[in-house]
């Protein structure tokens, strides 16, 4: 057993997720690294709930435009499947959570059942991957570091579709992912690590998150190991800060047709 594995032995890692391919890959990577992982699997937010929340902030026209892009991206996942299969096979992963770990279904990461599980499992670190925002009240009650894997470089690409927006804003050098501590804001906590990569010619909005997840696997593991061994060194993200949402359907199509950024 390595020195690092010895240091983290017996310290539970709790991954909270709403499920999907990218979280499954992250969990597989952590398990391969010898970490003791449990998963809290929340029910995904419904599109109606998401759209109503966005409408309160952005107005109904924009909210419906964002919904259109979400639906289009889901439909286009079939077109992305060949590329997804190529990437998953290249790294030796499969598409499902490991059968060897404990999975705890909950309604929401903010629910009382989740708080009870945290009290029972006593994790040394919690990792959020593709979840709803954790409430300030729930976060304040958690006694260990809570870390988020964010598919974007903070603070310029907080929120959603950070990789897409970096390309759209002629900032391909910042097509990347951030590991950061979770605070009461949206991707505003202290940065732990960053990684940058480049999409291939055939990548588009449905494959960018997978590319960024794969690129961030090592810094995700490193962040967890730092948390378990008391070596976290967060830094305040610098530069202009912007909260991102998916593009509206008409904006996405326009940019794809005129600039070939899909």
Query: For the chain, which domains are there?
Result: 3-259 (3.40.50.12230)
The answer to whether the CB of 149 falls within 8 A of the CB of 179 is: yes
Distance (Å) of CA 154 to CA 77, 132, 207, 248: 26, 18, 20, 22
Q: Which residues pair with 243 in a beta bridge?
A: 158
Gyration radius of the chain's alpha carbons: 18
Q: Which residues pair with 38 in a beta bridge?
A: 14, 102
Question: How do the pLDDT tens digits run along the chain, 262 residues long?
Answer: 444 555 655 589 999 999 999 999 999 999 999 999 999 999 998 888 899 999 999 999 999 999 999 888 888 877 888 899 999 999 999 999 998 999 999 999 999 999 999 999 999 999 999 999 999 999 999 999 999 999 999 999 999 999 999 999 999 999 999 999 999 999 999 999 999 999 998 899 999 999 999 999 999 999 999 999 999 999 999 999 999 999 999 999 999 999 999 9
Beta-sheet strands, E only, within the chain: 12-17, 36-42, 102-106, 125-129, 146-150, 158-159, 176-181, 191-196, 243-244
- pTM, two decimals, is 0.91
Residues 189, 191: Cα–Cα separation, whole Å: 6
Cis peptide before 234 (omega within 30 of 0): no
pLDDT of residue 2: 46
Which tokens is 40 given?
Answer: 């809290």
Ramachandran class of 10: left when φ > 0, alpha when ψ lies in -120 to 50, beta otherwise: left
pLDDT of residue 74: 81
Residues 157, 246: Cα–Cα separation, whole Å: 11
pLDDT of residue 78: 79
- 170 DSSP assignment: T
Per the listing, tokens 């809290």 go with 40
Distance (Å) of CA 196 to CA 41, 151, 174, 258: 28, 10, 6, 26
């Amino acid at each position: 057993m390595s020195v690092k594995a010895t240091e983290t032995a017996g310290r539970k890692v709790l991954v909270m997720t709403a499920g999907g391919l990218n979280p499954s890959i992250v969990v597989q990577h952590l398990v391969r690294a010898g970490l003791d992982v449990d998963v809290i699997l929340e029910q995904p937010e419904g599109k109606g709930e998401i759209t109503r929340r966005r409408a309160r902030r952005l107005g109904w026209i924009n909210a419906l435009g964002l919904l259109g892009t979400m639906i289009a991206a889901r439909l286009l996942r079939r077109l992305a499947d060949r590329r997804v299969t190529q990437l998953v096979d290249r790294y030796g992963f499969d598409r499902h959570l490991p059968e060897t770990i404990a999975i705890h279904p909950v309604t929401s990461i903010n629910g009382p059942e989740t708080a009870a599980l945290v009290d029972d499992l006593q994790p040394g670190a919690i990792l959020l991957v593709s979840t709803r925002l954790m409430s300030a009240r729930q976060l304040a009650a958690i006694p260990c570091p809570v870390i988020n894997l964010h598919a974007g470089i903070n603070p310029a690409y907080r929120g959603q579709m950070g990789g897409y927006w970096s390309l759209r804003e002629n900032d391909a050098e910042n097509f990347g992912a951030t590991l950061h501590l979770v605070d009461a804001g949206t991707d505003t906590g202290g940065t732990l690590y960053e990684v940058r990569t480049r999409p291939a010619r055939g990548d588009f909005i449905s494959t960018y998150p997978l590319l960024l997840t794969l690129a961030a696997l090592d810094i995700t593991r490193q962040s967890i190991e730092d948390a378990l061994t008391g070596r976290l060194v967060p830094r305040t993200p610098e530069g202009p800060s912007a909260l991102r949402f998916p593009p509206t359907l008409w904006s996405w199509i326009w940019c794809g047709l005129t600039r070939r950024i899909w």
